[in-house]
Structure formats: structure tokens, C-alpha cells
Amino acid sequence: MKIYLNGEFVEKDQAVISVFDHGLLYGDGVFEGIRAYNGRVFRLKEHIVRLFESARAIMLKMPWSQQEIMDAVVQTCAVNGLKSGYIRLVVTRGVGTLGLNPYLCDKPSIFVIADSIQLYPKEMYEKGMDVVTVATIRNHPAALSPAIKSLNYLNNILAKIEAINAGVPEAVMLNSDGYVAECTGDNLFIVKNGVLITTPISAGALRGITRDTVIELAKAAGIPFQEQTLTRFDLFIADECFLTGTAAEAIPVVKIDGRPIGDGTPGPITKQLIAKFHGLVQTEGEPIPLP
Ligand code: PXG
């Protein structure tokens, strides 16, 4: 496997980062998880725009153009012969000194890994998954904003640990006001009385690219949609629930905090949207030049 690292392709075991890189020392950096399907990189431009916005929010000046990074992503897939898989694009503050001052870091580091991912077992996509609400709240927007896809995921990891310790794979995180924010690596949708609903970004959600895609698909299919502040009560009385994320794709949720959602099986609108999503990703995206 070849990794793109600071402008070069290097073998996996040679793809190393300095212990003085602030990405490692402080989680000071930004990243994207991107998917390739059927020889195309899905919504690449949207991921790159979000990466640049995350970088801007942390005052990390990108020395590369958006096009250069898009080319690096596509080339990393091509040199690895990757037709379908998962791409991790990471930009760190770069090598600096001990001490927090980011301005002492000379230049950012960048790397791209093109590999595979299987987040949840296949049967969960068919039968649905169970989730729990956890005590760890989503970062307060006045601290590290949940809109920034930063390398500092420890808060979400703590929530993920709570879920796994409770015997389920994913956690619903609330915000500091007690409203539903999102999950540790996925956005959350419910269906109530035929209306598709997701939490607003202002509730502490990342503007997920899969979230945006599902909203587009719903609108095109004539499914009523709204963003709405949600409480746990709203989840408990929902007819359907599902999660979206680049890694997870779209996955039905059938139980929250031990309570069955709807009739306890993936709902019809959930299944319809998941099918449409799978159709779309096969045909849309930046082509990977494969031999
Ligand atoms: N919320 C959060 C907090 C995320 O990290 C999403 C929503 C979904 O966004 P996209 O754009 O992917 O639809 C994410 C992205 C993992 C993993 O291993 C998940 C993400 C990133 C990296 C790893 O579960 N999620």
C-alpha cells in the first residue's frame, strides 16, 4: 500500500510523522473521511471545501490549492488500484516545538490513505442497530465547535467508549441544553408521521456530506423534510430512525436506550432512502484513472 505523504508516495511502513508534529502532540489538525465507489470518489469537492473550512476555523493556512489536494486524493486511489474503499485525508499543523504555539510550526503536514472500511457488521444494515444516549455531551460550540472536523476526537471517543461498554456500537450525544446533537461519527435522522427530520447544525452536529446527500434524495423523492431540535422523547416516539456518515453510510436504528423504535424493524422511508443512496454513489463522483 502506498501512502501520499507531503507530496510523495511512500510505502506504508515508511509513511511516518515526526513526534514533534502538533497533530500528534495536541490533536492540532483537520481531516476528512471520503469514500470511493465503483471507480469514483464520491462528493470529493464537498469534502475538500469542508476541509478548507475546518482549516480556516483553526487558523491553519493551507499551502496547497483545493485542486492540488483533490488530485492527491484521486492519485492515491489510482496508485493503489482502489476502485471502492475509504480514504482518510489528514492535514496537521506540522512539526513544531514543545509548547502550544501553533505559529512555531513551519508548515502543515498532509497525508492520504486509501484503504477499506467496514464500520458495522453487514447484518446490522439489514436488521438495524441499537444505540444508547450517553452522558458525555457533544463539545460546546463555544469551545471546540462540532462543525470543525478536527483531529481532536477524544470527546467523541469517550462517548463511543460509553456505548461500547453498554453493549451497543454507537452513542447518541446530547448538547449542553439536553437536545440531541448527533452520534460520535454519524448524523441522526428520524421519521415521524411521514416527515423526515434531522437535528440542526446549531444543535451541535457536523454538517455531514452524507446528511446533505440524504436530504437531497428525500427532497427529490417528495418526502417532506425539516430540521428540528430533538429531545430524547422525540426519539422514543419516532416511527423510524437511521444514522448517516461516510464510514457508516446509512444504517437503520431500531432501538434507542432499550426502547424499540416504531415496530422495531427498519422503516419504509429509511429503506427507500438507503436504496436511493446506494444507487447514487455508484454513478456520481470524480473518476479515478485506473488502468
Ligand atoms: N458527525 C461526526 C461527528 C462525524 O465525525 C459525521 C457526522 C458524518 O459526516 P459525513 O460527512 O461523513 O457524512 C462524521 C464523520 C468512524 C469515522 O470511524 C466517522 C467519521 C469520521 C471519521 C471516522 O466512524 N465521521
- For ligand 1, the distance from its centroid to the CA atom of residue 237, given in whole angstroms, is 26
- For ligand 1, the distance from its centroid to the CA atom of residue 232, given in whole angstroms, is 21
Q: What pLDDT was estimated at residue 117?
A: 87
- What gap in Å lies between CA 167 and CA 183, rounded to an integer? 16
Q: What pLDDT was estimated at residue 291?
A: 79
Residue range(s) in the chain whose domain bears CATH number 3.30.470.10? 2-115
pLDDT tens-digit readout, 49-89: 999 999 999 999 999 999 999 999 999 999 999 999 999 99
Residue range(s) in the chain whose domain bears CATH number 3.20.10.10? 122-281
Among 36, 37, 72, 79, smallest CA distance to 51 is for 72
Fold of 2-115: D-amino Acid Aminotransferase; Chain A, domain 1 (3.30.470)
Cα R_g (the chain), whole angstroms: 19
- Identity of the residue numbered 91: V
pTM of the predicted model as reported, rounded to 2 decimal places: 0.97
Atom of ligand 1 nearest to the CA of 88: 22
Ligand 1 pocket mutation pick from 32, 46, 139, 149 by most atoms within 8 angstroms of CB: 149
- For ligand 1, the distance from its centroid to the CA atom of residue 88, given in whole angstroms, is 11
Select which of 149, 160, 192, 276 is catalytic.
149
Is there a contact between 86 and 281 (Cβ–Cβ < 8 Å)?
Answer: no
pLDDT tens-digit readout, 3-49: 999 999 999 999 999 999 999 999 999 999 999 999 999 999 999 99
pLDDT tens-digit readout, 252-290: 999 999 999 999 999 999 999 999 999 999 999 999 998
Is there a contact between 210 and 247 (Cβ–Cβ < 8 Å)?
Answer: no
149 is catalytic: yes
**Homologous superfamily of 122-281:** D-amino Acid Aminotransferase, subunit A, domain 2 (3.20.10.10)
Among 202, 200, 179, smallest CA distance to 189 is for 200
Of all residues in the chain, what percent carry a pLDDT higher than 90? 98
pLDDT tens-digit readout, 228-251: 999 999 999 999 999 999 999 999
